[in-house]
Chains A and B, each alone.
Chain A
Amino acid sequence: MTIGIFDSTSRRRELMAELCAKKADVFCWAGNAVPHRWDKISGNEDNLKKDEPLPHMGLMLVHGNDADAFDAALISPPCVVWYGGHRGDWRDYPKLLHRGRGDGGKIFEVQEDAAITLTERDVTDLIAYAGAIARRESPTKPRCLLPPPDPSVLNAIAILCQGFVAAGVSAGKIPVGDELVSLIGWNRLQAVAMARLSGRLSDLWPEVNRVKWWRRSLGVSKDSGEGHDDERYRRLLVRLVAALLTSTEASKKLPVKPDQSIEDKTTDELETALKTLSYSTEIVTLVERLKATGTEQVGVERIRKALNQVTTLLSKQ
C-alpha cells in the first residue's frame, strides 16, 4: 500500500513519513497540491520526475490544520485519517486523531483535544484497516481510531476511594499505619489541614461505607433513591470501558465496527469484557457492588483493592 501524508508543518510531516515508511511507500504533500516521494534511505522528500504518474494512495493521513487545503477528490483515497493535537511537545509527534465516523470513505472527525502516540503497530493496523475498507469489508476499528480515553469515571472512583480512606482514618476505622493512609498522602498533610478536615470527615464515615452512598455518588441510583437504575448502570460501564478502551487488550475484547460505537453495547457485553481485563477486575467488582440491595457496606478491603488498581491505571494515562 502507498500512504499519503498531507501536512504543512515540515518537521511533523517528516516524522510521520519516517514512521510510515517502515511499513509502506510514502508520498508527502506540504499542505498544497504538489506531491513529493519520501526517500526511505536518505530520509528526504524528492521531487517526482516529469510526467511520472502518482501511485494510488490507499490511505491518506491529513493534519487537522490543513483541512481547508486538502482536496480529497483530487487524490481520492478510500480511507482518510485526520491527525493532530496540541498537547505537549511537537517532538512527541506523530500523534493520531481518532474516531472514524461512517464508512472509511468518509472523512474522519477531527478531535483536536485528544491524541495518542502513533506507533509502528498502529501504522500496520491502519494499513490493514484501509485495505479492508478498499475491499468493501467491514473491519474492526484499530485501537488508534477508537474514541480517546475518558478517564473521568476512573478519576471519580479514585477520588471517592480516597475520601473513603480519609473518612475511615479520621473515624479510627482504618489504622494510621495502614498502607492506604500513606498511599493517599494523608500522613503528609500539614497538622493544621489534617485537624481542619478530620473531624468533619469522621462524621461522614457511616455514610461513605454504605453501598447506597456509592450508588448515589456515581449517579446510578434510581430516582426513588432505592436500588440501581439499569440504564444508568449500563452508562457507567460504557464510561469505564471508554477509560480503558485504547489499550490493545480492551479493543480486542470489545470489537467495534466502523459504523458502531461503544455506546451500543449491552450491559452483559460490557460486564463480560470488563471482567476479562486483568487490570480492571477489582474496579469492576467494586462497580458491581452497586447492584447490591439492602444496607450492605462497601468494606475497607474492597476499597483497598480498587484504589490500588485505579491508581495504577491512572498513573499510566
Chain B
Amino acid sequence: MTMIEQPDWQRRRSDFNHQWLKNRLLSALDTAGHVIRGRVHGTGYLQELIEVDVPEWKERRDDLGALLRDFEVQMSPRQMFNFPPLANLEPTARELFSELMHELWLVRHPVAEWVEGAKTAGSDVNEHYERLIKIAPLDAKGQVRPEFATEFEQFRSACRALSKAIEKFPNRILVT
C-alpha cells in the first residue's frame, strides 16, 4: 500500500494562491499601499508595480480558470480509486463505489458554491485590473493621482477577496 500523493490540484492552488497571489502580488500591493499613503517614499515603486507586478495577472488568470475547472475532477474522492488499496478493488465494486463516492461528495459539500465564489472573485479582480492599468499612477508633478489611489485600493481589495475565496476550498480530498 502506498500513500496517495498530494493531489496535483493542491500544488497548483498553492503555486497560484500562496506563492504568487499572496507572497508576490499582495505583498507588492501592500508595499505600494504604504507608498500611496505617503508612509514610505518611493513613487518609482508604483511605476514598477504597474509595469511588472500587476500585468502578471493577465498570465495568471488563465491558471485560475484551469484550477477552478479542474477542481471537481481532481479533488473528488473518485481519485482515491486510482491509488492502493482501492485501486485493487474488483472492477464492479471499484466502478460503483467510485461513482457512489462522487455523488455523495456532491451532496455533502458545497462544491459548486466554492467554484462559483472563486469565479466571481476572479471576475472582480479582472474588472478592477482592466481599470487600473488605464490610469497613470503619477501626475506631472510626480504626485500619486487620487483616481489611481482609489482604483488601486479596489484592485487590492479584490485580490484579497480572491485569495480568501480560494482558501475556502478543502486542502485534502474529502471522503466523509
Contact = CB atoms under 8 A, between A and B. Distances in A.
Interface of A: 9, 86-90, 113-114, 150-153, 155-156, 158-160, 162-163, 166, 184-186, 188-190, 193, 197, 200-201, 204, 207-208, 216-219, 235-236, 239, 242, 310-311, 314-315, 317
A303 to B, nearest CB: 14
Contacts of A208: 93
Nearest to B107: A188
Interface range, B side: 35 or more
A162 B85 contact: no
B175 A314 contact: yes
Contacts of A86: 11, 14-15, 18-19
Given A163-B97, A204-B92, A193 B103 contact: yes
Interface stretch (B2-10, B42-50, B128-136): B2-10
Interface stretch (B51-59, B60-68, B145-153, B165-173): B165-173
B80 A155 contact: yes
Contacts of B104: 162, 184-186, 189
Contacts of A163: 93, 96-97, 100-101
Contacts of A186: 104
Q: Which 4 A-B pairs have the closest CB atoms?
A: A86-B14, A219-B85, A188-B107, A163-B97
A159 B93 contact: no
Contacts of B92: 200, 204
B14 A159 contact: no
Nearest to A147: B3
Contacts of A217: 85-86, 88-89, 93
B97 A152 contact: no
B99 A152 contact: no
B69 interface: no
A315 B174 CA distance: 9
A66 to B, nearest CB: 14
Given A89-B167, A113-B6, A166 B176 contact: no
B101 A204 contact: no
Contacts of A90: 18, 22-23
Nearest to A239: B1
Contacts of B19: 86
Nearest to A186: B104
Contact of A166 (B1, B22, B100): B100
B77 interface: yes
A33 to B, nearest CB: 23
